């Protein structure tokens, strides 16, 4: 128990040192306007480089990633079908798919899938 606490303390200390060094080394020392502006072949920038990003693209990307990971979790269930108890496999599969369906219904009801907002 003591060694577990000791390892946790060491891990915490190392991570704090790394975070401190990262913030110390990543600070920009000069705040010159010319150096902070984007470079466009020596000309003044035509427009603001930080254009607004559509939140719809971001939401669709996040939903795709979530369902992509869930499909990656479903695929091994097909492989272990013959090796496992049919009742437990069916219950586990149905609970997992029910969670997916509830998540999809929630996203649909919140309007995340409507593109015309």
Highest mean predicted confidence (pLDDT) among 15-19, 51-55, 56-60, 90-94: 15-19
When the pLDDT of each residue in the chain is averaged and rounded to a whole number, the result is: 81
pLDDT at 14 over 90: yes
CB 62 within 8 A of CB 40: no
Convert 74-87 to b/e letters by CB count within 10 Å (16 or more is b): eeeeeeeeeeeeee
Virtual torsion, Cα 54, 55, 58, 59, nearest 10 deg: -140
Please report which confidence band the pLDDT of residue 113 belongs to, taking 50, 70 and 90 as the band edges: confident
58-86 mean pLDDT: 85
Tally of residues, the chain:
117
pLDDT at 15 over 90: yes
Locate 1 and state its tokens: 């128990």
82-88 mean pLDDT: 88
- Other beta carbons within 10 Å of 15: 10
> Helix %, strand %, coil % for the chain, to 5?
70, 0, 30
Please report which confidence band the pLDDT of residue 31 belongs to, taking 50, 70 and 90 as the band edges: low
What pLDDT shows up at residue 117? Answer: 53
């Amino acid at each position: 128990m003591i060694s577990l606490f000791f390892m946790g303390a060491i891990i915490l200390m190392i991570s704090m040192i790394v975070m401190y060094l990262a913030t110390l080394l990543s600070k920009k020392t000069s705040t010159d306007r010319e150096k902070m502006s984007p470079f466009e072949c020596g000309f003044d920038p035509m427009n603001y480089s930080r254009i607004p990003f559509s939140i719809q693209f971001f939401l669709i990307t996040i939903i795709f990633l979530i369902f992509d990971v869930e499909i990656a979790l479903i695929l091994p269930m097909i492989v272990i079908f013959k090796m496992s108890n049919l009742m437990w496999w069916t219950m586990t599969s149905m609970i997992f798919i029910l969670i997916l369906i509830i998540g999809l219904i929630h996203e649909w009801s919140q309007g995340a899938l409507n593109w015309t907002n």
